[in-house]
Amino acid sequence: MRSRVIGALRGLVGSTGAVAVALLLGAVIIVLSGDDPRDAYRALFDGAFGDRRSVAESLVLATPLIFGGLAFAIAARAGLFNIGIEGQFFLGSLAAGLVGAIDLGLPLVAHLPLALLAGIAAGAIWGWLPGALKARTGASEVITTIMLNYIAFQISSFVLRQDATLAVNPDFSTTDPVEATAELPLLLDRTRLHAGILMAVVAAMILWYLLFRTTFGYRIRTVGLSRGASAYAGIPWGRTIALAMLVSGLLGGLGGAVNTLGLAGRHYSQPAGYGFTAIAVGLVGRNHPLGIVLAGLLFGALNAGSTRMQAQAGTSRELVLILQGLVILSVAAFAAVGRIRRDTRPTANIRPGADRAATVGTEPAIEPRPGTPAL
């Protein structure tokens, strides 16, 4: 327990240092562009935290990124790179928008959960597909998730033209507005802050418990660290990665549903891009639920403050994209340095003839037990 806490603190310190380095490099870029970094960062901070509405807007923009970052994290913990979060998010938004736009005559306590469940189901199916393909055929999840993103976009375009049978508006390529009984409640008057931020935090807590306090989470982490060791321990690799991708898609679909029912009010045919930015959030948060919440808040604050930074300091809001990229590069650099330091430590304590796989960064080539099903 103590070593886990120390490791988490080291990760937090490393990510904080990476953010500081990114801000310093961003200041250099601002100076080279002829602006004052103090004025730019002051305006950026005021736009993100200067008043009640600014804080609310930072939380609003952080909400979908937290969901997407959590979706990326559980797949990464299983050793998978889920680039399909955008498609899972998009279909979750579509399904929730379709169900939410229908007047079912249900009260809020029934209609809202039904719309959320529709988004969850759509995202879970879209996440499970590449996991099952990898388990059965070995198909790279990177390729299949990218392909499924574009299929999801085309499904949305087709559905939004079916105005004869569905609650859609083909003229504007959207679903009809969500019924009041399917809307997430607002948390603060005269702001856009809705209950989705609370759901994101609860989802992070549940994912932390799932990963670090359950047998299923142990299997996911073991499979992600070593396929050979997991097979030797009798953990079904194929079933585990398929379920991990299912949960990943579930979280992505839930994020899309929350965004539609809490913020947008309807599903739009144009992808918002949250799923791709969420990959960066997951990387900056080191695939830990707590780190992802903090990283999501950071990215949300940067996006919320960018408009005021451009209006007050005259610094282009595109600087925020540069800062986000610098944060990712800094986190990667810190991680690389840490890995090099670990790899260059003396190995005198290893017994002669002992397995050195952990030291050299490889694993024994242990094949799955005969007769163990892939799924």
User: What is the C-alpha separation between 39 and 221, in angstroms, rounded?
Assistant: 45
84 neighbors 250 (Cβ within 8 angstroms): no
CB within 8 A of 246, min separation 6: which ones?
124, 127, 128, 131
- 353 has pLDDT over 80: no
Among the listed ranges 9-18, 20-29, 168-177, 232-241, which one has the minimum average pLDDT value?
9-18
Average of per-residue pLDDT across 182-206: 96
- The mean predicted confidence, pLDDT, of the chain is 89
User: What is the C-alpha separation between 86 and 91, in angstroms, rounded?
Assistant: 9
At residue 186, φ and ψ (nearest 5 deg) are -80, 145
Among the listed ranges 111-125, 326-340, 347-361, which one has the minimum average pLDDT value?
347-361
Average of per-residue pLDDT across 338-343: 78
pTM for the predicted model, two decimal places: 0.88
- 211 has pLDDT over 50: yes
- 356 has pLDDT over 90: no
| pLDDT value, residue 331 | 84
Q: Which two tokens stand for residue 276?
A: 């791709």
**Residue 150 Cα distances to 28, 280, 284, angstroms:** 38, 20, 26
pLDDT band at 17 (very low <50, low <70, confident <90, very high): confident
CA neighbor of 69 nearest in space, from 353, 331, 357: 331
β-pair type (168-169, 174-175): antiparallel
User: What is the C-alpha separation between 368 and 229, in angstroms, rounded?
Assistant: 9
DSSP string over 41-73: HHHHHHHHHSSHHHHHHHHHHHHHHHHHHHHHH
287 neighbors 122 (Cβ within 8 angstroms): no
User: What is the C-alpha separation between 217 and 240, in angstroms, rounded?
Assistant: 10
Q: Which two tokens stand for residue 286?
A: 């080191």
Per-residue pLDDT reduced to its tens digit, 48-75: 999 999 999 999 999 999 999 999 999 9
- 123 has pLDDT over 50: yes
- 42 has pLDDT over 80: yes
pLDDT band at 14 (very low <50, low <70, confident <90, very high): confident
- 354 has pLDDT over 50: no
Q: Which two tokens stand for residue 70?
A: 């959590």
| pLDDT value, residue 335 | 78
CA neighbor of 326 nearest in space, from 302, 300, 290, 291: 302
Answer left, alpha or beta for residue 355, where phi above 0 means left and psi between -120 and 50 means alpha.
beta
Give me the architecture of the 57-307 domain, per CATH. Answer: Orthogonal Bundle (1.10)
Three-state secondary structure readout of 120-172: HHHHHHHHHHHHHHHHHHCCCHHHHHHHHHHHHHHHHHHHCCCCCCCCEECCC
- 343 has pLDDT over 90: no
Query: What amino acid is encoded at 122 in this protein?
Result: A
Average of per-residue pLDDT across 310-322: 88
173 neighbors 98 (Cβ within 8 angstroms): no
| pLDDT value, residue 330 | 87
82 neighbors 76 (Cβ within 8 angstroms): yes
Residue whose entry in the numeric block shows the structure tokens 């008057």: 189
| pLDDT value, residue 350 | 46
| pLDDT value, residue 371 | 46
305 neighbors 317 (Cβ within 8 angstroms): no
- 360 has pLDDT over 50: no
Among the listed ranges 102-116, 164-178, 211-225, 315-329, which one has the minimum average pLDDT value?
315-329
| pLDDT value, residue 302 | 93
| 182: DSSP letter | G
The more confident residue out of 201 and 355 is: 201
Average of per-residue pLDDT across 120-137: 97
User: What is the C-alpha separation between 335 and 274, in angstroms, rounded?
Assistant: 25
263 neighbors 248 (Cβ within 8 angstroms): no
Among the listed ranges 53-62, 128-137, 322-331, which one has the minimum average pLDDT value?
322-331
- 139 has pLDDT over 80: yes
